[in-house]
Structure 1
Amino acid sequence: MSGVVRIKRVYDDPAPEDGYRVLVDRLWPRGVSRERAAVGTWLKQVAPSAELRTWWDHDPARLDQFTARYRAELDANPALDELHRLLHDHPVVTLVYSARDPHLNQAEVLREYLATRRYGPR
């Protein structure tokens, strides 16, 4: 992976320093138009499965289990190839998410996952 990976809430104003914005939620955020979201790609396939997302429900007590389960899903996820390509094509990529908590969200887990993995084509 080359470049910088950031995370940002979709409800925060887009900024030039965001670089290429990738929405990493399975569902489109409520009340946000496509223009307002200003994402280059909606990569919902890298989001946690519906079952995992429902089970977790952003419960801080389940964060460690959620992280382990989500990382296991990512290990087997072919959609990471597309994200990997975007990370190589853009010097800055911002993973955009809709959760309220800037520390308790799947984009933070995904960013940490990406920082610990080097990818090649599958």
Structure 2
Amino acid sequence: MIQCKRVCERAVAEDGYRVLVDRLWPRGVKKSDLAYDEWCKDIAPSTELRKAFHSDRLDFAHFSARYRGELDERPEVVKRLAQLGHQQTLTLLYAARDTRQNHALVLAEYLRKTAP
């Protein structure tokens, strides 16, 4: 099972393996305060894509399509996380305030469709 959670949400045992999927460390969060197993910067959107989305130069549909294209170029990282998600609960942690339109949701959907 693959799920997403904001970094500010409390960690619970049911989260399983917790991976921070942001390129930048979340603002205002101490490393010692965040319960996570791994910080996977390589799976996050590129800096250019992130900035284009946050400056409203890209809508979410175009951002998602471009991000999936970037994920296509990272097969080894994608495969490893997809395998984790098929073997156990995998929680993708993100800092974005928008819980409906963010890269972690795109990534979760992409990983679910990736064969283990």
* TM-score exceeds 0.5: yes
1:71 aligns with 2:68: yes
TM-score, structure 1 normalization: 0.85
Equivalent of residue 89 in structure 2, options 70, 87, 92: 92
Asked if the contact 2:78–2:111 (Cα under 8 Å) also holds between the matched residues in 1, the reply is no
Q: Cα RMSD (Å) of the superposition?
A: 1.7
The 2-side partners of 1:9 and 1:76 are apart by: 26
Equivalent of residue 115 in structure 2, options 106, 114, 118: 118
1:1-122 → structure 2 map (5 Å cutoff)? 4-57=1-54, 59=56, 62-77=59-74, 78-88=76-86, 90-119=87-116
1:7 aligns to what SS in structure 2?
strand
- Deviating runs (4+, > 6 A) in structure 1? none
Distance 1:116 1:82, change over 3 A: closer
Q: How far apart are residue 22 of structure 1 and its match?
A: 0.2
Deviations 1:48-84 (A, max 9, x none): 000000001174x600000100000000114224323
Matched residue type, 1:87: G
Deviations 1:6-58 (A, max 9, x none): 10000111111111100000000011122321110000100000000000117
Asked if the contact 1:10–1:37 (Cα under 8 Å) also holds between the matched residues in 2, the reply is yes
TM-score, structure 2 normalization: 0.89
**Percent of aligned pairs with the same amino acid:** 46
What 5-or-longer segments of structure 2 have no aligned partner? Answer: none
Count of matched residue pairs: 114
